[in-house]
C-alpha cells in the first residue's frame, strides 16, 4: 500500500488508494482477546477494551469517513466500507491470535507452493437460508480478481480458480505468492451468494442492490445520506463472533466537532478513526472512554515525489530529514496518539506476533542501528548540522514543494511544523495543498506529481509485514516507486522473500534489502499512529487495535461487565 | 402579456441549458482521475483503460455532454460514477432532508425577520436594539452558530439531538430545529434589516401622514398603508434569501451530520462525479430560476405600474 493517503474529517479518498494496494491482513495486528482488561487511561494503548457480558438492543455507531461508496467486499478498500463489510460477510480464512492463518468459512491445504485447496465448512447459510457452496466461493474469488475491482492486482499470480467438489475450491498459481493466503482473511477473500450477486448486476453493493452474505449481521436498510441499519443474523454459524446488539444504527457524520459532541452527549455509542483534532475534547468526556489502540499499521510518511529536482541530491534531502523533530510532531499534531518511527518500514510491521522470535531479532537489530543514527534529528544541533550539509551540497534557497491534502487540518499542522524547522536550516519548503482527487492521483501517477518535491500523507498496511510496502515501493515499476529507485540486489531480495513462506528467511532477505535502500533516504516514515476510538460507558468487548477492520468488530461489542 | 409569458418560459430554459454546459465543462476541466476512487492506486494502466472504456469516460467531452443532455431531457440524469447508483436514487432521499431544512429555516426567517423588522421600523425606541441584534446575527458564521447551538441546547441541556435526521415528521422536525436556526440566523438579520428600512421609509411617507390625519387606527395604517407599500422590497429580499439557502446548506448539513444535497454536492465535486454535480447544480439553478420568475410574475400582478410599462422594476 503505502499510497500516501491521509486521514481526517471529510477525507474519503486517500486510504482507498492505500488499502486497495495492500494484501489483506489487518487482523494480523493483534487478533484481540475478547476478554482483555479494560484500559484505565488513554495514555496506555490496548488491543481490546473491556468484556462483553450481555446483549444490547441497539448500538449507534458513526463512520467518521462518511457513507461508503459500496459494500461489495472487493471494493471496500477503505476504513468505512471495510468496517461494514467485515460485519456482514465472512472471509474464507481468519488470522489467529498468533498470526497463523486459521479456518473460518473454509479450511485450507497447500499441497504445493503453486496449489491451494479450500474445503468449505458444511452447513453454513447465507441470510436467505441458501447454503454456501463452492460455486459461491468460485464466483466471489473470480469477482475479486476481475479488472473492475480495487483488489484485482492481488490475484496477479493466480492462474485458475475452480470448483473441485460441491464444497471444495482449488486455486492454482503461476508463481509462489506468500501473501495470498493472508488476503483470504480479508475483504478480498469474502464470500457472497452467486445467484444474488448476478441478479444485482451493476447494483451489487449499492444502497439499491445491497449484498447477500453469511456474516453476523444482515444489512436491512441503507438510506443514502442518512444511515444504515444492520440486524443480527440469528442463524450465524460462529458463536465466538455472534452479534451482541440486536440492531446497529450506522451514522455517516464526518464533521469532527459534531462527532465529538455526539459522543460527549451520548447520542453515539462509539466510533473508530476519531479525528486527532478532537482528542483533547474527548479526553475529558464523562460519557465514555477515549481509547488508543495498538498495534496498528497506520503511519505518517514524507516521500520524495520525483527523481529530479532539488531533492535529487542525497545531502539536501538528508538535511531536510535532519530538521524534523518526530517527538514534537507526535505531541503537537496528534496529541500523543503516535510514536516516533526511524525506518521507512513502520515498527509494527515487524514487531508483532506474526513473526517468530528469531525473525523479530533480525528486524530489531536492524532497527536499533537506524534509530541510533536518527534519534537526535530535530534537535538544535541536528538543525545546525543540516544547515551546513545543505550549504555544502550547493543548496541556495530553491523552493522545495511539499504537497499535502487540502482541508486536512492535522496534516496542515504537520506541514507547517516541517516548514518551520526546515526554515531554521535555511531550507525553503513551500506547502502546496492539493484537492482530494488530485492528491490521490499524485500518489500513483507521475503525471500528477509534476512540480512536486514531497508528498506528505498517512498510509497503512493491511498485512503486518514489511514485504507488503516494500514490494510496492522498491522494485522498478512499483506504483509507489516515485523516484525510479532500482537496485538489483534489493529487487532480488524482495522477490525471493515473496516466494518463501519461511518467515526467518523472509526477515533476513528483507532486512538485507533494507540495509541497501534505507541509506538512499528517498522516504521517511516519521510516526506510527495508534488507532483512536471512543466507546460509551457500559459497553465492552471492543477491538481497539487496527484489527477492527478485518473482523466483525461491531458484532463483538456488548454490554460490559459490571 | 404574451411576450411576458414567453419571457417567463424561454428565459429559464436558456438559463438551465447554459448552466448545464458551464457546469459540465467545469467538472471536465477539474484536475484528477475519478477512477482512482473505484480502482485504488494499485490498478494497472490497462485496468484503468478498461474501466474508462466501460464507463464511457474515454469519449470526447462534447460527445459525453450531448449524450448527457439528450438523456437529461428524457428525465434520465445518469448514474453516479462513485456510488454506482442512479443519480435520482441518490438525490431522492437527500433532497427531502434539504427541502425540509430549508422550509423550516424559511419559516423562521420570514416570521422572525419580518416581525423584528416591523418592530424596528415602527418603534424608534426598539430600532437601535434590533439593529444591534441584526449586526450580531450577520456576523455569526453558520458553522459557529451550529457549534454554539449544539453545545448549549444539545450537549448541555439535552433538548435536541446533536446529529441525524430522525424518523417521522415530529422526529425530523426535532432533529432539524437546531440546524434550521443555525441556517436562519444570518438571513433573519438581513430580512429584518431590509424590512425595518422599508417600513421606516413608508412610515415617514406623506400618504401615511394623510392616513393618520384621517384618524385611521394604527393597525389599519400598518396593514393597508405601510406594509402594502413596503411589501415589494420585503418580498424580493425574502424570496432571494430563501432561494439562496439551498446553496448555503452545505456547512449546516456537515455540522449536524445531515445527509442532504449540500454535503452530497461537496463530496461529488471533490470526487469529480459529474452526473451528480450536474444534477444538483441544475436543481440549485432551477430553484433560483423558479423563485425569480415567480417573483417577477407576482410583482407583475401586484403592481399595476409594471403592467402598464410592460417591464419589471425590482430586478
| pLDDT tens-place string over residues B139-173 | 888 888 888 898 899 888 889 988 888 888 888 88
CA dist., res. A79 & res. A297, Å (int): 13
Q: Which of A8, A76, A226 to mutate to test the interface with B (most CBs of B within 10 A)?
A: A226
Residue A34: band (very low, low, confident or very high) from pLDDT cuts 50, 70, 90: very low
Best CA proximity match to A129, nearest among A246, A47, A212? A212
Of A208, A267, A444, the CB nearest to B36: A444
Same structural domain for residues B171 and B100? yes
DSSP B37-55: HHH-SSS-HHHHHHHHHHT
Same structural domain for residues B163 and B214? yes
Q: Which pLDDT does position A58 carry in this prediction? A: 96
Contact assessment for residue A136 and residue A191, using Cβ atoms and an 8 Å cutoff:
yes
User: Is the Cβ pair A147, B51 closer than 8 Å?
Assistant: yes
Last residue of a domain, one of B48, B73, B98: B73
Q: Which secondary-structure segment (H or E) carries A186?
A: none
Contact assessment for residue A95 and residue A25, using Cβ atoms and an 8 Å cutoff:
yes
Strands (E), A501-553: 523-529, 531-536, 539-540, 542-543
Q: Which pLDDT does position A443 carry in this prediction? A: 84
Contacts 24+ apart (CB under 8 A), A216-220: A216/A87, A216/A241, A216/A242, A216/A243, A216/A552, A216/A555, A217/A87, A217/A88, A217/A243, A217/A248, A217/A552, A217/A554, A217/A555, A218/A88, A218/A127, A219/A71, A219/A84, A219/A88
Residue B48 within a domain: yes
Q: Which pLDDT does position A226 carry in this prediction? A: 87
Cell of A373: 543514527
Q: What is the mean pLDDT of residues A54-63?
A: 96
pLDDT tens per residue across span B76-100: 888 898 888 889 988 988 888 888 9
Range of the domain at B228: 89-309
Same structural domain for residues B18 and B96? no
Of A150, A206, A480, the CB nearest to B40: A150
More confident residue, A419 or B36: A419
Best CA proximity match to A288, nearest among A83, A49, A32, A87? A49
Residue B168 within a domain: yes
Best CA proximity match to B284, nearest among B259, B298, B265? B265
Residues of chain A with CATH 3.10.105.10: 298-529
The CA distances from residue B275 to A224, A370, A405, B267, in Å, are: 16, 50, 25, 12
Q: Which pLDDT does position A44 carry in this prediction? A: 65
Out of A309-313, A547-551, B289-293, give the one with best mean pLDDT.
Answer: A309-313
Residue B81 within a domain: no
Contact assessment for residue B287 and residue B243, using Cβ atoms and an 8 Å cutoff:
yes
Last residue of a domain, one of B28, B43, B73: B73
Q: Is A33 helix (H, G, I), strand (E, B) or coil?
A: coil
Burial code of B241-267, b = ≥16 C-beta within 10 A, e = fewer? bbbebbebbbbbbbbbbbbbbbbbbbb
Query: A550 pLDDT exceeds 80?
Result: yes
Burial code of A423-449, b = ≥16 C-beta within 10 A, e = fewer? eebbbebebebbbbbbbbbbbbbeebb
Cell 455526539 appears where? A262
Same structural domain for residues B123 and B261? yes
Query: A161 pLDDT exceeds 80?
Result: yes
Residue B93 within a domain: yes
Same structural domain for residues B28 and B93? no
pLDDT tens per residue across span B174-205: 999 999 999 998 889 888 888 888 888 887 78
Least reliable range by pLDDT among A10-14, A123-127, B128-132: A10-14
At the top level of CATH, the class of A37-294+533-560 is: alpha beta
Query: A41 pLDDT exceeds 60?
Result: no
Same structural domain for residues B23 and B98? no
Of B41, B164, B271, the CB nearest to A21: B41
Q: Which residue of B has its CA nearest to A71?
A: B83
Please count the structural domains in chain B: 2
CATH of the domain at B297: 1.10.3720.10
Same structural domain for residues B163 and B39? no
More confident residue, B261 or A40: B261
Cell of B174: 426535532
CA dist., res. B261 & res. B165, Å (int): 13
Same structural domain for residues B115 and B228? yes
Distance of CA B39 to the CA centre of its chain: 35
Last residue of a domain, one of B38, B73, B108: B73
Average pLDDT of chain A to the nearest whole number: 88
Question: Could you report how far apart the first and last alpha carbons of chain A are, in Å?
Answer: 42
Let me know if domain A298-529 sits in CATH 3.10.105.10: yes
Q: What is the mean pLDDT of residues A244-255?
A: 94
Interface of A with B in 26-85 (CB under 8 A): 62, 66-67, 69-70, 75, 77
Burial code of A515-550, b = ≥16 C-beta within 10 A, e = fewer? eebbebbbbbbbbbbbbbbbbbeebbbbbbbbbbbb
pLDDT tens per residue across span A284-302: 999 999 999 888 888 999 9
Same structural domain for residues B54 and B147? no
Cell of B269: 465535486
User: Is the Cβ pair A20, B40 closer than 8 Å?
Assistant: yes
Q: Which residues sit opposite A288 in a β-bridge?
A: A536
Q: What is the mean pLDDT of residues B45-57?
A: 84
Of B31, B82, B162, the CB nearest to A258: B162
Query: B21 pLDDT exceeds 60?
Result: yes
Same structural domain for residues B123 and B98? yes
Residues of chain A with CATH 3.40.190.10: 37-294+533-560
Amino acid at each position: 500500500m503505502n499510497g500516501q493517503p491521509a486521514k481526517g474529517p471529510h477525507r474519503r479518498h486517500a486510504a482507498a488508494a492505500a488499502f486497495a494496494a495492500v494484501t489483506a491482513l489487518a487482523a494480523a495486528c493483534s487478533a484481540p482477546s475478547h476478554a482483555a482488561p479494560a484500559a484505565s487511561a488513554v495514555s496506555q494503548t490496548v488491543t481490546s477494551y473491556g468484556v462483553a457480558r450481555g446483549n444490547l438492543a441497539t448500538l449507534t455507531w458513526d463512520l467518521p469517513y462518511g457513507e461508503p461508496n459500496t459494500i461489495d467486499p472487493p471494493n471496500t478498500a477503505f476504513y468505512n466500507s471495510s468496517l461494514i463489510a467485515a460485519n456482514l460477510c465472512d472471509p474464507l480464512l481468519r488470522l489467529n491470535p498468533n498470526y497463523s492463518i486459521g479456518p473460518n468459512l473454509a479450511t485450507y491445504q497447500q499441497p504445493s507452493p503453486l496449489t491451494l485447496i479450500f474445503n468449505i465448512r458444511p452447513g453454513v447459510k447465507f441470510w436467505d437460508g441458501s447454503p454456501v457452496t463452492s460455486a459461491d466461493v468460485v464466483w466471489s474469488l473470480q469477482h475479486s480478481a476481475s479488472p473492475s475491482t480495487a483488489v484485482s492486482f492481488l490475484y496477479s499470480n493466480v492462474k485458475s480458480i475452480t470448483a473441485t467438489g460441491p464444497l471444495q475450491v482449488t486455486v492454482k498459481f503461476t508463481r509462489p505468492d506468500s501473501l495470498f493466503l493472508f488476503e483470504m482473511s480479508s475483504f478480498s477473500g469474502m464470500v457472497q451468494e452467486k445467484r444474488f450477486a448476478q441478479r444485482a448486476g451493476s447494483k451489487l453493493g449499492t444502497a439499491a442492490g445491497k449484498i447477500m452474505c453469511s456474516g453476523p449481521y444482515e444489512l436491512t436498510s441503507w438510506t443514502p445520506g442518512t444511515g444504515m441499519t444492520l440486524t443480527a443474523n440469528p442463524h450465524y454459524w460462529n458463536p465466538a463472533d455472534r452479534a451482541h446488539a440486536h440492531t446497529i444504527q450506522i451514522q455517516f457524520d464526518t464533521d469532527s466537532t459534531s462527532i465529538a459532541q455526539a459522543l460527549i452527549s451520548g447520542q453515539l455509542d462509539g466510533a473508530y478513526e476519531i479525528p486527532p483534532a478532537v482528542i483533547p475534547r474527548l479526553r475529558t468526556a464523562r460519557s465514555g472512554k477515549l481509547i488508543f489502540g495498538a498495534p496498528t499499521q497506520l503511519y505518517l510518511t514524507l516521500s520524495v515525489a520525483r527523481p529530479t529536482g532539488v531533492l535529487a541530491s542525497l545531502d539536501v534531502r538528508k538535511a531536510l530529514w535532519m530538521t524534523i523533530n518526530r517527538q514534537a510532531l507526535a505531541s503537537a499534531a496528534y496529541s500523543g496518539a503516535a510514536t516516533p518511527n526511524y525506518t521507512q518500514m513502520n515498527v509494527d510491521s515487524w514487531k508483532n506476533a506474526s513473526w517468530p522470535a528469531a525473525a523479530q531479532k533480525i528486524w530489531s537489530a536492524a532497527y536499533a542501528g537506524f534509530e541510533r543514527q536518527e534519534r537526535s534529528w530535530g534537535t538544535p544541533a541536528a538543525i545546525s548540522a543540516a544547515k551546513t550539509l545543505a550549504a555544502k551540497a550547493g543548496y541556495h534557497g530553491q523552493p522545495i514543494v511539499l504537497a499535502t491534502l487540502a482541508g486536512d487540518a492535522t496534516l496542515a499542522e504537520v506541514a507547517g511544523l516541517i516548514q518551520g524547522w526546515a526554515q531554521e536550516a535555511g531550507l525553503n519548503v513551500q506547502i502546496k495543498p492539493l484537492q482530494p482527487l488530485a492528491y490521490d492521483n499524485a500518489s500513483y501517477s507521475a503525471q500528477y506529481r509534476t512540480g512536486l518535491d514531497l508528498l506528505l500523507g498517512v498510509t497503512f498496511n493491511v498485512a503486518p509485514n514489511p514485504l507488503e510496502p516494500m514490494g510496492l515501493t522498491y522494485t522498478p515499476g512499483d506504483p509507489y516507486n516515485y523516484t525510479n529507485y532500482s537496485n538489483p540486489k534489493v529487487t532480488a531480495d524482495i522477490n525471493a522473500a515473496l516466494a518463501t513462506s519461511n518467515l526467518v528467511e523472509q526477515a533476513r532477505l528483507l532486512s538485507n534489502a533494507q540495509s541497501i535502500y534505507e541509506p538512499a533516504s528517498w522516504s521517511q516514515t516519521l510516526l506510527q499512529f495508534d488507532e483512536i476510538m471512543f466507546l460509551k460507558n457500559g459497553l465492552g468487548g471492543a477491538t481497539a487495535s487496527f484489527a477492527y477492520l478485518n473482523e466483525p468488530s461491531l458484532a463483538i461489542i456488548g454490554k460490559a461487565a459490571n | 402579456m404574451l411576450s411576458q409569458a414567453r419571457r417567463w418560459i424561454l428565459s429559464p430554459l436558456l438559463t438551465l441549458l447554459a448552466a448545464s454546459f458551464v457546469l459540465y465543462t467545469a467538472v471536465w476541466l477539474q484536475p484528477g482521475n475519478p477512477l482512482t476512487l473505484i480502482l485504488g492506486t494499485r490498478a494497472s494502466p490497462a485496468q484503468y483503460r478498461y474501466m474508462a472504456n466501460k464507463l464511457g469516460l474515454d469519449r470526447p467531452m462534447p460527445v459525453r455532454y450531448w449524450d448527457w443532455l439528450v438523456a437529461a431531457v428524457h428525465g434520465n440524469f445518469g448514474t453516479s460514477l462513485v456510488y454506482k447508483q442512479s443519480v435520482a436514487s441518490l438525490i431522492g432521499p437527500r433532497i427531502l432532508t434539504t427541502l425540509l431544512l430549508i422550509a423550516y429555516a424559511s419559516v423562521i426567517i420570514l416570521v422572525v425577520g419580518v416581525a423584528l423588522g416591523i418592530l424596528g421600523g415602527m418603534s424608534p425606541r426598539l430600532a437601535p436594539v434590533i439593529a444591534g441584534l441584526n449586526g450580531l446575527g450577520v456576523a455569526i458564521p453558520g458553522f459557529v452558530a451550529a457549534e454554539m447551538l449544539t453545545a448549549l441546547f444539545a450537549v448541555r441541556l439535552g433538548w435536541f439531538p446533536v446529529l441525524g435526521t430522525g424518523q417521522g415528521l415530529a422526529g425530523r422536525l426535532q432533529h432539524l430545529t437546531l440546524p434550521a436556526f443555525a441556517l436562519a440566523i444570518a438571513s433573519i438579520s438581513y430580512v429584518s434589516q431590509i424590512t425595518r428600512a422599508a417600513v421606516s421609509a413608508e412610515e415617514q411617507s406623506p400618504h401615511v401622514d394623510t392616513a393618520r390625519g384621517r384618524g385611521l387606527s394604527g393597525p389599519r395604517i400598518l396593514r393597508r398603508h405601510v406594509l402594502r407599500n413596503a411589501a415589494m422590497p420585503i418580498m424580493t429580499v425574502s424570496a432571494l434569501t430563501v432561494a439562496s439557502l439551498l446553496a448555503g446548506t452545505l456547512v449546516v448539513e456537515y455540522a449536524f451530520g445531515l445527509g442532504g444535497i449540500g454535503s452530497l454536492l461537496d463530496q461529488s465535486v471533490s470526487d469529480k462525479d459529474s452526473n451528480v454535480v450536474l444534477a444538483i447544480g441544475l436543481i440549485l439553478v432551477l430553484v433560483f430560476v423558479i423563485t425569480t420568475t415567480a417573483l417577477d410574475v407576482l410583482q407583475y400582478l401586484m403592481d399595476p405600474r409594471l403592467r402598464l410599462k410592460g417591464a419589471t422594476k425590482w430586478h
